[in-house]
Each structure stands twice: as C-alpha cells, then as structure tokens.
C-alpha cells in the first residue's frame, strides 16, 4: 500500500509513526525540529489520515506498508520513531527487518499484548450522529458526553473534516472507524516474536502512564537486548505531546 507521508528536511532518514486514531500532523512540531538534521518522513498509517483505507489491518500489514515506503524512497537504513500503535508497528518492522533499522525509538508501549484496547473511544465515536452533524462544535459536544478528557477530545477532533458527498460536504473521520471498530483486538496483540532483535532501541515512557510498567522491563530486555528505558516526568501516555521538550531531548540524544 502506498502511504501518505509528509517529507521535510535533509540528512539521514527518520520515519515517524503515529498512534491509534492519530495522523502525521500530530508530529508536525517535532518533525520540523528534526528536519534540521534529518530527512523526516511523518507517515499516515493505513486506515488513518490521508492514507488509503483497507479491510486488512494488523501489525504485519502495517509494517509491510512502511517497508514498501522505505524501498520506494530508496532508503538504505532508517531511524524509526513510533508512539503506541505506531510503536508496535515500528517494533514489528525492526523484528522482521532489522537490517533496515539503524535506531528505534518506541514511545510508551511495550511488546506485550494489552487488555485495554480503546473500545470506549470507539463507542464514543460511533455515538456521534455524523449524518446530521452541523459543526465541529456539535461533534465536540456529542463526543464530550462520553469523553471527559479535554486532550483526548481535541486529539480525536483533529481527524474530523468535511468531504464532498453527493453534491454536499458532510463531516467524516479521516480514520476508518468501521474497520477499526471491527478489528480493534488486532491492535492489542503482542509484537514480541521472533526475538531477540539487536537494533539499538530506546523506550520512552511517561511517568504517569501504566503502558510500560516495571514488570515489562524483563520482557523488553529479552526482546530488545540493546535497549534502554527512560521515563519522562509529568507525562502520561501521550508523552511526546504532554512533555514535547523533554521527549525531544531524550529521543534526539539517542538518535
């Protein structure tokens, strides 16, 4: 699949992968900073942003999409950053194609399977009356009945846009909610085989997040023996958005 991506800068290649319900735009500020030293490819993964929608949706096919991008851009070896779902795509790619990855940064996700899978967010999105949606404020009000966190609410609304449909413009989501809703369990799966992977890897976790706990450290070391873990103070799961300066410093030193 030919993915949409935003390319900027010059220098060694750096690929950035967003999380579930995200898009490349979420990384615009950090991508701009890294573009001073790297050729940055900020990617929309399949079923997200401006990339194509498809029925197949799991870590294998998403990793294959990024490999296709690497080869289409004639890149020899890349630095790779991924947050949450994007972090698992990045891990899958590094495990399957270690020769393509020079350095790997995984933001707030471990290679294990997860019980929580954002089903509540899917239900909230499905509750929005898209057919009769009059404005972004209307969407915000409807979503706000189920999602109280302002940051999560605004994050989701970034993917709301108007699309031409039968001569009129109607609101829709840039992510493929129908497929995501049916195949959400695929995103909870582990990405820890085959192992080990000897790519130099940095795991960046948020101090207030429970996605990478102390119990995950042994498995991380087993799957990625050349890895280290840093904790960003005052950050939750959206570590790169909540503490962008601290995240940038930690990732940039490693890159």
CB 69 within 8 A of CB 60: no
Residue of 18, 48, 237, 240 with catalytic role: 237
CB 200 within 8 A of CB 172: no
Task: Find the DSSP H helices in 22-176.
Answer: 28-34, 59-72, 85-96, 119-126, 136-144, 150-157
Q: How far apart are the C-alpha atoms of 171 and 184, rounded to whole Å?
A: 23
Task: Find the DSSP H helices in the chain.
Answer: 28-34, 59-72, 85-96, 119-126, 136-144, 150-157, 177-182, 217-223, 239-242, 244-254
Residue of 84, 159, 209, 227 with catalytic role: 84
**237 is a catalytic site residue:** yes
SS3 call for 218: helix
**135 is a catalytic site residue:** no
Q: Which residues are catalytic?
A: 84, 237
């Amino acid at each position: 699949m030919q993915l949409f991506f935003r390319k900027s800068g010059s220098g060694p290649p750096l690929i950035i992968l967003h999380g579930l319900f995200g898009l490349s735009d979420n990384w615009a500020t950090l991508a701009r900073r890294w573009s001073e030293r790297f050729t940055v490819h900020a990617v929309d993964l399949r079923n997200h942003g401006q990339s194509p929608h498809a029925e197949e949706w799991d870590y294998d096919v998403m990793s294959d999409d990024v490999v296709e991008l690497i080869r289409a851009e004639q890149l020899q070896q890349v630095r790779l950053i991924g947050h949450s779902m994007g972090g698992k795509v990045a891990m899958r790619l590094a495990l399957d194609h270690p020769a393509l990855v020079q350095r790997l940064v995984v933001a707030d996700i471990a290679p294990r399977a997860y019980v929580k899978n954002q089903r509540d967010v899917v239900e909230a999105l499905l509750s929005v009356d898209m057919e009769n949606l009059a404005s972004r404020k209307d969407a915000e009000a409807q979503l706000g009945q189920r999602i109280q966190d302002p940051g999560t609410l605004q994050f989701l609304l970034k993917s709301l846009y108007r699309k031409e449909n039968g001569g009129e413009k109607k609101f829709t989501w840039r992510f493929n909610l129908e497929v995501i809703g049916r195949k959400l369990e695929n995103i909870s799966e582990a990405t820890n085989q085959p192992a080990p992977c000897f790519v130099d890897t940095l795991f960046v976790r948020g101090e207030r997040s429970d996605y990478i706990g102390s119990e995950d450290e042994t498995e991380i070391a087993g799957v990625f023996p050349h890895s280290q873990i840093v904790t960003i103070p005052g950050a939750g799961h959206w570590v790169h958005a909540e503490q962008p300066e601290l995240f940038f410093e930690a990732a940039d030193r490693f890159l």
